């Protein structure tokens, strides 16, 4: 199963859980299954602009985005963009 890793603020919103193991075929399917999905997607179902997602170290925006396929051993890391102040 793919492993999903969350940053600390999202982990706090997921009851303190930082790591999820999910049986999902794509990045989008995995992220939408998370309890913090409304924080990752806007009302239109689009991934928020400053949410970055890496699969095995590669930014999914350089691949197929939310349609990027996951292998059973994939590691998906959600990272907040470097922004704000």
Partner 1 sequence: MGVLLSIGTRKGLFLLSGDAEDGHWQLEGPLLPGWSVYHAVVDPRDNVLYACSNNWVYGGSFHRSSDLGKTWERTEEVGLPEESGLKLAATWHVEPGRRSEPGDVWLGGDPGVLFRSSDGGKTWEANQGILEHPTREKWQPGAGGMCCHSIQVADGAVYVGISAAGAFRSDDGGETWAPINANVAADFLPEKYPEVGQCVHKLLMHPGRPERLWQQNHCGVYRSDDRGESWERLDGNGLPSGFGFPLALEPESPDVAYVIPEESAENRVTSDGRLGVYRTGDGGATWELWSDGLPDQAWAAVMREGFASDENGVYFGTQSGSVWTAPRSGGWTEAARDLPPILSVEAAEWS
- Residue 84 tokens read as 């704000």
Site for partner 1 (CB under 8 A): which residue of 44, 57, 62, 72?
A: 44
Separation of alpha carbons 77 and 44, rounded Å: 22
Site for partner 1 (CB under 8 A): which residue of 1, 33, 42, 67?
A: 42
CB-nearer residue toward partner 1: 1 or 12? 12
Strands 51-55 and 58-59: antiparallel
Establish if 33 lies at the interface with partner 1 (CB under 8 A).
no
Establish if 16 lies at the interface with partner 1 (CB under 8 A).
no
């Amino acid at each position: 199963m793919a492993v999903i890793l969350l940053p600390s603020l999202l982990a706090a919103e997921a009851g303190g859980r930082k790591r999820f193991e999910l049986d999902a075929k794509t990045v989008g399917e995995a992220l939408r299954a998370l309890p913090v999905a409304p924080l990752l997607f806007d009302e239109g179902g689009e991934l928020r602009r400053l949410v970055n997602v890496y699969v095995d170290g590669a930014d999914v925006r350089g691949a197929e985005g939310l349609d990027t396929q996951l292998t059973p051993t994939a590691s998906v890391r959600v990272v907040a963009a470097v922004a704000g102040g």
